[in-house]
């Protein structure tokens, strides 16, 4: 068989582990050929690819980012490019395409699959918000980075009697905020799923200082928003891909808390540091298993499917299911993080 692989959307620790695993399983165990498209769907649209042999993937297991490069392609460009993609698939003699990506990539994968192209998707995102899989690789690494940062920020906040508002990634869901906040013992966790009341937050943080504590750490997902009317808030706009461009919840909250509490409050934005660098062992294992099972799915002819973790098993689920809804933080999980003082 001849298989094409690509990585699309925001990068994520573990992408290289999937690429390596696909190549190993396909070449060594099945005698297949693998090519990698450069910079995601763009590579497939422009027929820009490289041959992936064992040498090409040697030493990349622990490497962050993606050796194939990644990019975002506007959905309308892909919709208008389906016939072009089909032409390239035929020209290259491809039997299957394995796109590795998040919500946007999997939606595009579904579009191509619905048009009859042989696709097996692999989910990735540090946000962990794809409902069809229990976990996505990259999440464990991002939570580790955020937790390490929070541990470090706690000691400096304590020295200076400050409130630190730490903004972590998470556009629509607060999984990174929830897990890193719990792991580091943050004093408040703000998630997009549950609009916060700034007065309540100020009271909570104020009560800590009144009780003699010297600092407070608030973790806010970038998509967290105040309850309507609770404070003036700049929501930001959208980028060319229709994604929210955030105006900075941490920065805006720092101003508001400092004004209300008379305590120094500083924003800290972790940003892309959460996505960079070497994946954790957990993410390497999950990514490797996804790659292995994606090749198996190709050989079984299970097109229009995506690999997923269910419990400890890797299964395949329809791409249609994968893109149907986001996995949001449920109220009961949020409640577990609220009992901190």
Residues marked as catalytic: 127
- What is the DSSP secondary-structure string of 46-74? HT-EEE--TTTTTT-TT--S-TT------
127 binds ligand F6P (CB under 6 A): yes
Judged by CB under 6 A, the residue of 73, 126, 135, 337 near ligand F6P is 126
293 binds ligand F6P (CB under 6 A): no
Cα angle 236, 126, 309; round to 5? 135
Judged by CB under 6 A, the residue of 10, 40, 101, 174 near ligand F6P is 10
**DSSP assigned state of 280:** P
**Rounded to the nearest whole angstrom, what is the least distance from the CB of residue 294 to ligand F6P in the complex?**
20
How many distinct helices (H) and strands (E) make up the chain?
Answer: 13, 13
Which residue, 127 or 256, has its beta carbon nearer to ligand F6P?
Answer: 127
How many residues touch ligand F6P (CB under 6 A)? 10
List the x/- string, 166-185, binding to ligand F6P by CB under 6 A: ---xxx--------------
Which residue, 168 or 202, has its beta carbon nearer to ligand F6P?
Answer: 168
**Rounded to the nearest whole angstrom, what is the least distance from the CB of residue 237 to ligand F6P in the complex?**
14
**CA nearest neighbour of 8 among 35, 32, 44:** 44
Which residue, 272 or 300, has its beta carbon nearer to ligand F6P?
Answer: 272
102 binds ligand F6P (CB under 6 A): yes
Contact 189, 219 (CB under 8 A): yes
**DSSP assigned state of 330:** P
107 binds ligand F6P (CB under 6 A): no
Touching ligand F6P, residues 219-278 (CB under 6 A): 222, 275
Judged by CB under 6 A, the residue of 8, 70, 113, 125 near ligand F6P is 125
**Rounded to the nearest whole angstrom, what is the least distance from the CB of residue 46 to ligand F6P in the complex?**
20
Handedness of CA 231, 265, 223, 104 (dihedral sign): positive
Which residue, 147 or 215, has its beta carbon nearer to ligand F6P?
Answer: 147
Which residue, 206 or 277, has its beta carbon nearer to ligand F6P?
Answer: 277
Residue 103 belongs to what H/E stretch?
Answer: helix 103-114
**DSSP assigned state of 29:** I
Contact 173, 326 (CB under 8 A): yes
Using the contact rule CB under 6 A, the part of the chain among 121-129, 157-165, 208-216, 224-232 near ligand F6P is 121-129
Distance CA 206, CA 210 (A): 6
Contact 267, 165 (CB under 8 A): yes
Handedness of CA 29, 30, 32, 35 (dihedral sign): negative
**CA nearest neighbour of 43 among 91, 101, 4, 93:** 4
Using the contact rule CB under 6 A, the part of the chain among 31-39, 165-173, 212-220, 315-323 near ligand F6P is 165-173
Please report, for residues 147, 154, 205, the alpha-carbon distance to residue 159 in angstroms, rounded to integers and kept in the order given: 19, 9, 17
**Rounded to the nearest whole angstrom, what is the least distance from the CB of residue 180 to ligand F6P in the complex?**
13
**Rounded to the nearest whole angstrom, what is the least distance from the CB of residue 267 to ligand F6P in the complex?**
16
Q: In the complex, which residues of this chain contact ligand F6P (CB under 6 A)? A: 10, 102, 125-127, 169-171, 222, 275
């Amino acid at each position: 068989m001849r298989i094409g692989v690509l990585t699309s959307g925001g990068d994520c620790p573990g992408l290289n582990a999937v690429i390596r695993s696909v190549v190993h399983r396909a070449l060594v165990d099945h005698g297949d050929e693998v090519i990698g498209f450069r910079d995601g769907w763009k590579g497939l649209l422009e027929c820009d690819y490289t041959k992936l042999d064992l040498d090409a993937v040697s030493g990349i297991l622990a490497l962050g980012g993606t050796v194939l490069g990644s990019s975002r392609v506007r959905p309308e460009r892909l919709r208008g490019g389906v016939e072009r993609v089909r032409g390239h698939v035929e020209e290259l003699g491809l039997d299957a395409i394995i796109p590795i990506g998040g919500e946007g990539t999997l939606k595009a994968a579904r579009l191509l699959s619905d048009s009859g192209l042989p696709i097996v998707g692999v989910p990735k995102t540090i946000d962990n918000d794809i409902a069809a899989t229990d976990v996505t690789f990259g999440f464990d690494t991002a939570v580790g980075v955020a937790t390490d940062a929070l541990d470090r920020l706690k000691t400096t906040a304590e020295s200076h009697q400050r409130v630190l508002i730490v903004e972590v990634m998470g556009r629509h869901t607060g999984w990174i905020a929830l897990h890193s906040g719990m792991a580091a013992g943050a004093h408040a966790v703000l998630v997009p799923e549950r609009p916060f009341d700034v007065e309540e937050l100020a009271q909570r943080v104020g009560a800590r200082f009144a009780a003699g504590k010297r600092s407070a750490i608030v973790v806010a997902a970038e998509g967290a928003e105040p309850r309507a009317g609770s404070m003036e808030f700049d929501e930001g706009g959208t980028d060319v891909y229709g994604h929210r461009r955030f105006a900075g919840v941490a920065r805006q909250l720092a101003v508001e808390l400092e004004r209300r509490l008379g305590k120094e409050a500083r924003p800290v934005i972790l940003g892309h540091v959460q996505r960079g660098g070497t994946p954790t062992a957990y993410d390497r294992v999950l990514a490797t298993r996804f790659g292995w099972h994606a090749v198996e799915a190709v050989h079984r002819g299970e097109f229009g499917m995506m690999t997923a973790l269910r419990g400890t098993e890797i299964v395949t689920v329809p791409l249609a299911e994968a893109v149907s809804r986001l996995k949001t933080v449920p109220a009961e999980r949020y409640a577990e993080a609220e009992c901190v003082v």
